[in-house]
């Protein structure tokens, strides 16, 4: 890895580790995809919903929405007690759906591209890379199944998710 690449990796790692909101993780998602693939899209919105545990997030085709599984994030937050691990989970789920929003339909193709982006932007020995390679559900190993019990709360929009200077319809 060149000195320039090493500096980029360290900056992306520091930003993701320090992120304290969905919006801050989202900024890292957009920047890493732009850096690794040269692609971007503006005007995305994030919703939190209590989804079945097998579903981490989804992007309804033809929309600017990503729906994230609030229960999955809360379980990992409660069991890991590590902000970088939780951020790595959120990053992986959001980057996966962002790639769908950018036009990649194939699940297998998106999974491969996520690993490509994460390796280029974070290196091989980082928590986000390990989550991408193993899958976000690897973080649930050792958690008793009874703990995983989605409730039925109302879907919630994440305010200030994407910073934009323009009105986007």
Domain count, the chain: 1
56 part of a folded domain = yes
CA atoms of 50 and 55, how far apart (whole Å) = 10
78 part of a folded domain = yes
Q: What is the pLDDT of residues 139-152, one digit of tens each?
A: 888 776 665 666 67
163 part of a folded domain = no
Domain that holds residue 92: 3-157
* pLDDT confidence of residue 101: 97
Q: Other CB atoms closer than 10 Å to residue 74's CB: what's the count? A: 15
Both structure tokens of 94: 């959001």
Residue 99 C-alpha from the chain's centroid: 11
CA torsion, ordered 107, 126, 56, 138, to nearest 10 deg: 100
15 part of a folded domain = yes
168 part of a folded domain = no
Q: What is the mean pLDDT of the chain?
A: 90
Both structure tokens of 60: 């309804």
Asked whether the beta carbons of 57 and 119 are under 8 A apart, the reply is: no
77 part of a folded domain = yes
169 part of a folded domain = no
Cα-based distances in Å from 24 to 14, 15, 141, 154: 12, 8, 27, 24
* pLDDT confidence of residue 144: 64
DSSP readout, 38-87? S------EEEEE---TT--EE--TTSSEEEEEHHHHHHHHHHH--HHHHH
CA atoms of 92 and 88, how far apart (whole Å) = 6
130 part of a folded domain = yes
Q: What is the pLDDT of residues 81-103, one digit of tens each?
A: 899 999 999 999 999 999 999 99
Q: What is the pLDDT of residues 96-138, one digit of tens each?
A: 999 999 999 999 999 999 999 999 999 999 999 999 999 998 8
* Global pTM exceeds 0.85: yes
pLDDT tier for residue 4 given thresholds of 50, 70 and 90: low
Closest-CA residue to 71 (of 4, 145, 151, 131): 151
């Amino acid at each position: 890895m060149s000195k320039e690449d090493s500096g980029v990796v360290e900056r992306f790692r520091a930003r993701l580790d320090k992120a304290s909101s969905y919006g801050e993780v989202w900024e890292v998602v957009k920047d890493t995809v732009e850096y690794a693939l040269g692609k971007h899209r503006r005007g995305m919105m994030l919703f939190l919903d209590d989804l079945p545990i097998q579903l981490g997030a989804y992007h309804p085709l033809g929309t600017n929405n990503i729906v994230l599984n609030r229960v999955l994030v809360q379980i990992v937050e409660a069991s890991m007690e590590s902000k970088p691990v939780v951020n790595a989970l959120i990053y992986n789920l959001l980057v996966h759906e962002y790639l769908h929003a950018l036009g990649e339909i194939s699940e297998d193709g998106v999974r491969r591209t996520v690993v490509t982006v994460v390796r280029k932007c974070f290196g091989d020995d980082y928590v986000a890379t390990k989550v991408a390679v193993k899958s976000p559900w690897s973080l649930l190993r050792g958690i008793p199944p009874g703990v995983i019990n989605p409730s039925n709360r109302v879907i919630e929009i994440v305010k200030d998710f994407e910073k934009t200077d323009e009105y986007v319809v």
